[in-house]
Structure 1
Amino acid sequence: MTADASLISKTAVQVRDLLQTGEVSPLDLLDTIEARIAEVEPAVNALPTLCFDRARDRARALMNKPVAERGLLGGIPVPIKDLADVEGVRSTRGSPIFADTVPAASDVLVETLEAQGGIIYAKSNTPEFGAGANTFNEVFGRTLNPWNTSRSAAGSSGGAAVALATGTAWLAHGSDLGGSLRNPASFCGIVGMRPSPGRCAATPGLPLDQTMGVEGPMARNVEDLALLFDAMVGEDPRDPISLPWDGRSFLESARSGWTPRKVAWTKDFGITPVDPEVAEICEAAARRFSEAGVIVEEACPDLSEANACFATLRAAGYVAAMKALYASHRDKLKPDVIWNIEAGLKLTASEIAHAQDQRLTLFNRAQAFFGDYDLLLSPATIVAPYPIEQTYVAECNGHRFSNYIEWLAVAYPATLWMSPAISIPAGFTREDLPVGLQMIAPPRGEHRLLAAARQLESILWPTPIVPIDPRPAA
């Protein structure tokens, strides 16, 4: 067997089972993915950097091992977001500053995935340094939404989400600070999960004790995502906040049938406008949990400090991570990145300390809230996919935002609480554009989150909705 188009529509779990029985090989999967990329990639620009020679070398080496020794993924191809280094592969961070960079070593996370039998074959597109929830940059251009190629795929893991939606990936790596795993999942009709900080070891950057930004999995459904998450988790001494594996399979947890007793629903956390159609779609999806005997109530903890807290801590983080680049290459940074760095440079120590105090207050309120509710559900994004020419959402439901990150406020709570949060498809707008439902659990609550997400997914989508062929604007 070489390329087999019928494999594209199979789930990652099904593909892994075929690898284990020997019905397909890692090389067959690479041939199949390469053929699919040739068909759909020109219409969406999701995977601008390919490394199939390297991938085939890795696949052959893996095939020399017994099947039982090939790791949890066993040879499934996985693209890496172009913010994480892959040894010997062009790694640009979406920036002209790094346009020709070819790293000599891989990120810790990439090493972990390869040790678990993941075959790296591509880098997925991202906005410059992951800044902004619309995937475009001066190196590779725009990534287009396959449900309507005139629309944004969101970001910053936009290339990964589009690859999953179009069948050029079964699984994909992403990362999340302000919703970058959840936003593109919502816009592209797939599943993305922000894990608790420390779950997925990665090469540390600045600040060293990073708990706002995390690495995480993306997939077409919850089971597939849990499989990839199993291959990503674990402790590594090179990442000082990484957590040891707790010995339980996340895929088995997703299949466990655990049912929450009571969940809360909020359309806006009390901190953001939301498009009425999006709110309606998400509330209808959330309330279908009652079909599994779950109590669904409208409730939310007080998040009145969240906008100011997030903005301050994000800006302080940008200064820590990018002050040197700002000093040496300001002329090559996009305006939004410059704005965020300069906002951080203006902060006082007192303002940063106040934001840390606010975060602790918000965390404590959340802990009390999750004593009453197993999960908190909300829209994953406040709008449906918007025109690709817009760099960000400037207005929603009559409210104008003052900068490029404020429209992402529904993502702030999970980030500030250090909670795992997942986006699953909730439904479609009248324009047939996908909308995602966000589900948030208490910190380190991924096992129950995945079980609940799979249960609700089975109610909402008894048959798969992706992969699809790219659809041009009507």
Structure 2
Amino acid sequence: MKPDTPFTGPDVCALPAREVVAALRKREISPTEVVAASAQRIADVEPAVNAMPTVCAERAEAKIAELGQGEADHVGWLAGLPIGIKDLNAVEGVRTTWGNLTLKDFVPDASDPMVERLEARGGLVMGKTNTPEFGAGGNSTNPVFGATRNPWDTRMNAGGSSGGAAASLATGEVWLSHGSDLMGSLRTPAAHCSVLGLRPSPGRCGGGPGSAAFLTEGLQGPMARDVRDLALFLDAMTGYDPRMPISLDAPATSFQAELDRQSKPPRIAFSEDQNGFAAVEREIRTVLRGAMEEVMKAGATVEETCPDLPDLNETYLALRGLHYGSVIASLPEPVRAVFGERLSDNVAYAKRLTAQAIYDAMRARTTLYEIMRGFLTRFDVLAIPVVGIAPDLVEHDYPRHVDGAEIGTYEDWLRFSFLATTTLLPALSMPAGFTAGGLPVGLQLVGPPRGEAVLLRTALFIEEALDLGNRPIDPVIRH
């Protein structure tokens, strides 16, 4: 059962994004009013959660004059809605640090293409959300801004690396927040904060990192408080841009419209531990089983099954190494000189990769994709945990034990993120319930190739079956 948590912020901050956007389009409320409400909420809750350490409300107000000069007729038009941008993406004139001490005062003179797209489609950047250094970590803490805390219990962490984005949504600072994902960086924080995050197909939301734009492992994606808002933000992020070479054209039917299409109850393959691939606490298993029981009562078909996925661990780690070797290892020496231990270890692993390991990973990735492609002709999604534990203490970099078993490496506790990244299948993290102590538990849905529409429709069915609500909360402050 969802804990009884109050929300004392401005009323407009508790509304779904789509309702605020509809009111903005009809001029029933002004962008100035919405920016002011967002700024008030940020000021009220930031001392407790540290989700958006860099706020640019004055810039957002100045940008109101430019609304309508971009793509005002676009299906994803946000009409002046304040949004958050992860502090891994440049925003013109706004401090952008990547959580790195050398870059702590860096102010870019140009925005990333995705930021430009969102502003052209009516988004007002309200601030930069917190992240571990260069996104390397499952706990959003860095030496520049410190740690983001979990809104459901401020002793706990908010997940990473899009932890600031997730916490900003859960507390009502903004209605939509931008994230990115390589090893669950979008999915884990969504699960820890009881919001939603979508890791899309490659190119659906632009491309890879600016310095390695053809990479398909680290991808941007939308985060929101419910499925329909997630579809709105996905529409706002989608479309071809020649500066993002793997970017895709927007689909003929918007993702928002896809949710209104008549569809049969979903066919869900469910696995508590992905054939023992990763450890899962008993309470997490209980919550996920209970969620699937409710989904079956609502009419869905749920079958406990998961295909064999050979060499997934080694394949994913090699592909992740390509990302760190191509992007992070090539950063300027003054930036690398202050890397924390986590980032340094990742770069060292990348540099140790052999050519044979990379060749093997490319072949194994193809095999894994074909297995999943065939498997998902019988099911709409594969449902698995996002992570095997509830949020941990904010002081812990990562958990050392899960279900009584020692975690061998930092990567091991995030193994449930490997499948979607390796096979390039879209994956969605959504609320599934709460532990007895009131901490969120997330469910991950892995969909078919370029199957965001199927993924969203299935998630909507589950969301309605579980009826967990989507209102933001006041931070639960515990010491």
* TM-score, structure 1 as length reference: 0.95
Q: Return the letter of the residue paired with 1:336.
A: R
1:472 corresponds to which residue? Answer: 477
User: Which of 313, 333, 338 lines up with 1:332 in the alignment?
Assistant: 338
1:421 corresponds to which residue? Answer: 427
2:378 corresponds to which residue? Answer: 372
- Equivalent residues of 1:192, 1:422 under 8 A apart: yes
Q: Distance in 1 between matches of 2:219 and 2:176?
A: 17
- Equivalent residues of 1:254, 1:448 under 8 A apart: no
| Structure 2 residue 456 is matched with structure 1 residue 442 | no
- What is the RMSD computed on CA atoms of the aligned residues? 1.9
| Structure 2 residue 77 is matched with structure 1 residue 72 | yes
Q: Distance in 1 between matches of 2:140 and 2:76?
A: 32
2:119 corresponds to which residue? Answer: 114
2:234 corresponds to which residue? Answer: 229
| Structure 2 residue 42 is matched with structure 1 residue 42 | no
Partner SS state of residue 236, structure 2: helix
Q: Distance in 1 between matches of 2:272 and 2:412?
A: 16
User: Which of 251, 259, 263 lines up with 2:264 in the alignment?
Assistant: 259
User: Would the alpha carbon gap of residues 39 and 329 (structure 1) be closer, same or farther in structure 2, given more than 3 Å must change?
Assistant: closer
Partner SS state of residue 23, structure 2: helix
User: Which of 399, 406, 424 lines up with 1:400 in the alignment?
Assistant: 406
What aligned pairs does 1:54-69 form with structure 2 within 5 A after superposition?
Answer: 54-62=59-67
Q: Distance in 2 between matches of 1:88 and 1:365?
A: 46
Structure 1 residues 278-287 or 45-54, which shifts more? 278-287
- Equivalent residues of 1:70, 1:117 under 8 A apart: no
| Structure 2 residue 209 is matched with structure 1 residue 200 | no
User: Would the alpha carbon gap of residues 278 and 69 (structure 1) be closer, same or farther in structure 2, given more than 3 Å must change?
Assistant: closer
Q: Return the letter of the residue paired with 2:387.
A: T
CA drift of 1:291 comes to: 2.6
Q: Distance in 2 between matches of 1:362 and 1:64?
A: 45
1:387 corresponds to which residue? Answer: 393
Q: Distance in 1 between matches of 2:467 and 2:112?
A: 35
Q: Distance in 1 between matches of 2:331 and 2:434?
A: 41
Partner SS state of residue 449, structure 2: coil
Q: Return the letter of the residue paired with 2:66.
A: A
Q: Identity of paired residues, percent?
A: 43
What aligned pairs does 1:238-387 form with structure 2 within 5 A after superposition?
Answer: 238-270=243-275, 271-325=277-331, 327-387=333-393
Q: Return the letter of the residue paired with 1:389.
A: E
Q: Distance in 2 between matches of 1:402 and 1:60?
A: 53
Q: Distance in 2 between matches of 1:223 and 1:385?
A: 26
Q: Distance in 1 between matches of 2:459 and 2:124?
A: 27
Partner SS state of residue 435, structure 1: strand
- Equivalent residues of 1:193, 1:216 under 8 A apart: yes
Q: Return the letter of the residue paired with 1:322.
A: I
Structure 1 residues 63-72 or 331-340, which shifts more? 63-72
Task: Describe the superposition over 1:155-190 as per-residue Cα deviations: whole angstroms up to 9, x where unpaired.
Answer: 100001000000101011000111111101100011
User: Which of 4, 11, 14 lines up with 1:6 in the alignment?
Assistant: 11
- Equivalent residues of 1:87, 1:102 under 8 A apart: yes
- Equivalent residues of 1:258, 1:448 under 8 A apart: no
- Equivalent residues of 1:265, 1:283 under 8 A apart: no
| Structure 2 residue 124 is matched with structure 1 residue 90 | no
Structure 1 residues 247-256 or 138-147, which shifts more? 247-256
User: Would the alpha carbon gap of residues 323 and 68 (structure 1) be closer, same or farther in structure 2, given more than 3 Å must change?
Assistant: closer
Q: Distance in 2 between matches of 1:203 and 1:209?
A: 6
Partner SS state of residue 431, structure 2: strand
| Structure 2 residue 415 is matched with structure 1 residue 409 | yes
Q: Distance in 2 between matches of 1:328 and 1:165?
A: 36
1:461 corresponds to which residue? Answer: 467
User: Would the alpha carbon gap of residues 29 and 259 (structure 1) be closer, same or farther in structure 2, given more than 3 Å must change?
Assistant: same
Q: Return the letter of the residue paired with 1:306.
A: L
Aligned residue pairs total 470
User: Would the alpha carbon gap of residues 206 and 71 (structure 1) be closer, same or farther in structure 2, given more than 3 Å must change?
Assistant: closer
CA drift of 1:60 comes to: 2.5
Q: Distance in 1 between matches of 2:362 and 2:468?
A: 43
What aligned pairs does 1:134-149 form with structure 2 within 5 A after superposition?
Answer: 134-149=139-154
CA drift of 1:293 comes to: 2.3
User: Would the alpha carbon gap of residues 67 and 302 (structure 1) be closer, same or farther in structure 2, given more than 3 Å must change?
Assistant: closer
Q: Distance in 2 between matches of 1:93 and 1:15?
A: 30
Q: Distance in 2 between matches of 1:143 and 1:220?
A: 18
User: Would the alpha carbon gap of residues 259 and 180 (structure 1) be closer, same or farther in structure 2, given more than 3 Å must change?
Assistant: farther
CA drift of 1:54 comes to: 1.2
Q: Return the letter of the residue paired with 1:53.
A: E
Q: Unaligned regions of 5+ residues in structure 2, if any?
A: 1-8
| Structure 2 residue 177 is matched with structure 1 residue 172 | yes
Q: Unaligned regions of 5+ residues in structure 1, if any?
A: none
Partner SS state of residue 332, structure 1: coil
CA drift of 1:67 comes to: 7.4
Q: Distance in 1 between matches of 2:304 and 2:297?
A: 17
Q: Return the letter of the residue paired with 1:41.
A: E
Partner SS state of residue 330, structure 2: helix
* TM-score, structure 2 as length reference: 0.94
- Equivalent residues of 1:179, 1:408 under 8 A apart: yes
Q: Distance in 2 between matches of 1:123 and 1:265?
A: 36
CA drift of 1:383 comes to: 0.6
Q: Return the letter of the residue paired with 2:197.
A: G
Q: Distance in 1 between matches of 2:200 and 2:73?
A: 28
CA drift of 1:287 comes to: 3.1
Q: Distance in 2 between matches of 1:403 and 1:180?
A: 17
Q: Distance in 2 between matches of 1:96 and 1:329?
A: 8
User: Which of 140, 147, 157 lines up with 2:162 in the alignment?
Assistant: 157
Q: Return the letter of the residue paired with 1:139.
A: V
Partner SS state of residue 150, structure 1: strand
CA drift of 1:97 comes to: 2.2
User: Which of 185, 188, 196 lines up with 2:193 in the alignment?
Assistant: 188
CA drift of 1:254 comes to: 2.1
Q: Distance in 2 between matches of 1:120 and 1:48?
A: 13
Q: Distance in 2 between matches of 1:369 and 1:199?
A: 23
